[in-house]
Amino acid sequence: MQSLRTRPRAAATESLNRIVSEPRPIAASKHPVWDVHTHTTLAPDTHASLARFTHHADFVRVRAHATAPCCAEIINSRGEVVRSIEHNAYDAEARRAECDRHGVAIQVLSPTPMMIPDYVEDAADAAAICKILNDGNAAIVSAFPQRFTALGALPMMFADLAIRELERVRGLGMRGVEINSNINGLDLDDPRFYPIFEAAAESSMAIFIHPWGGFMSPQEGHLKHRMHQERNWRPWLLGMGLETALAFDAMRCGGIHQRLPQLRVMYAHGGGAFPAMLGRLEHGSYCRPDLFREASQVGPYETVQSSGVYADALTHDPWVLDMLIQMLGTRRIAMGSDYPYPLGEMDITRPDSDDQARNIYPGHMIQHLPESLEDMKGAWQHFHWLTRETADGPRRLPLISSEQKKQLLSETAKEWLNWK
């Protein structure tokens, strides 16, 4: 993996200095911007103290970068670099400064998914790792409580300990938890997880489902070869969408949404592939009811209408966002950026390209979409890399009213987090 902004490591310090010293002005939004999808890592100063967990094969920790003082590296138990990161991944002041630069009022912090210890078979270690992750995010929130709130990590394989940690982070002021799309290969409708969802519903804690594992890192030989991360970045670009769709299917068919309609569950990356597959899921259960005898009898469309199903707006495409709005409505969609990772809607200027910068930043798509036909021409300049033509002729950007923008940018986030 390359650095967070997909720049060569040697340019990391220079690039960060340029960002700090020459910030691009961001037009102020008419509405406060809440970013529900952001990630953190542990800080490099935790590196030595976490050595006790390196006997777990998939454990990762953070160490200081050898040459770039603004950066760090995520390393695995073998000491191999998994990902290079910049200090906005773990430093509260750096994040606050970038929030100011991007016009973000509040970020919702979630652990980086690979750091959640679903793979740890030792209950005490799994609980300890989650506590370390959660206390790290609690410290960032404590530094700037008006700018950050956080979601916790849970040792999902151990329900009693997960519920205990759920209660602990709630006491710290967290309003929800992040879980992965599968738990060490187990679908989310596995009966051992239901008590955790039930406890979250009873305590009004939100759930954020983020893709990880599964199709992103398959073990079967042929599929592993086809999904190899060097093959067109497939695990992240395609595997994530598939994983999120499988998570929704498990939560729907497994009856979690039906039995706990008050449980507020947000699916990352615009819901992945599931919004586009709702019709197929609905039709399939109608055509082959014999294959759904053990599944919830509440259909996919009814599930998204009657249960606490949410998605972030991270679709990267105005027409896909429009489809998502048609499926869920703006009261179920919240702005998310995936900050600070490369797939986030960040203000990226490619150093190897002279192309016009896209000037992407959290909420850009929502804020720049036209509110009327008269706004259409001006709106197109913010989407200059998209073609204005189809095989059938000119097309137009989706229209989103000011009230819809307000809902997407802040109000849905507050409702999902039960923010009073």
User: What per-residue confidence (pLDDT) applies to 343?
Assistant: 82
Given a cut of 70, whether residue 130 has pLDDT beyond it is yes
Kindly provide the residue ranges of all beta strands, DSSP E only, lying in 313-415, ordered along the sequence: 333-334, 389-390, 393-394
- CA nearest to 310, candidates 223, 251, 233, 363: 251
Report the pLDDT value the prediction gives residue 2, as an integer from 0 to 100: 35
pLDDT tens per residue, range 7-29: 333 333 333 333 333 334 445 57
**Contact status, residue 390 vs residue 347, Cβ threshold 8 Å:** no
Each residue's pLDDT tens digit, 201-247: 999 999 999 999 999 999 899 998 888 878 888 999 999 999 999 99
Question: Average per-residue pLDDT in the chain?
Answer: 90
Cβ-Cβ contacts under 8 Å for 246 (sequence gap 6 or more): 181, 182, 187, 214, 215
User: Which pLDDT tens digit goes with each residue over 178-205?
Assistant: 999 999 999 999 999 999 999 999 999 9
Following DSSP, what letter does each residue of 280-320 receive, concatenated? HHHHHHHH-GGGGTTS-SS-HHHHHHHS-EEEES--SSHHH
pLDDT one-digit tens code per residue, 88-100: 999 999 999 999 9
pLDDT (average), residues 290-295 = 93
pLDDT at 417: 98
More confident residue, 3 or 51: 51
The answer on pLDDT for 145 being more than 70 is: yes
Q: Which CATH class is domain 9-416?
A: alpha beta
- CB count, 10 Å around CB of 141? 20
Alpha-carbon distances of 218 from 154, 215, 239, 243, 248, rounded to whole Å: 23, 5, 10, 11, 19
Cβ atoms within 10 Å of 415's Cβ, excluding its own: 17
pLDDT in tens, 150-180: 999 999 999 999 999 999 999 999 999 999 9
pLDDT recorded at residue 68: 84
Q: Is the pLDDT of residue 40 over 70?
A: yes
Place of tokens 């959290």: 362
The pLDDT tens digits for 322-375 are 999 999 999 999 999 999 998 877 665 555 555 566 667 778 899 999 999 999
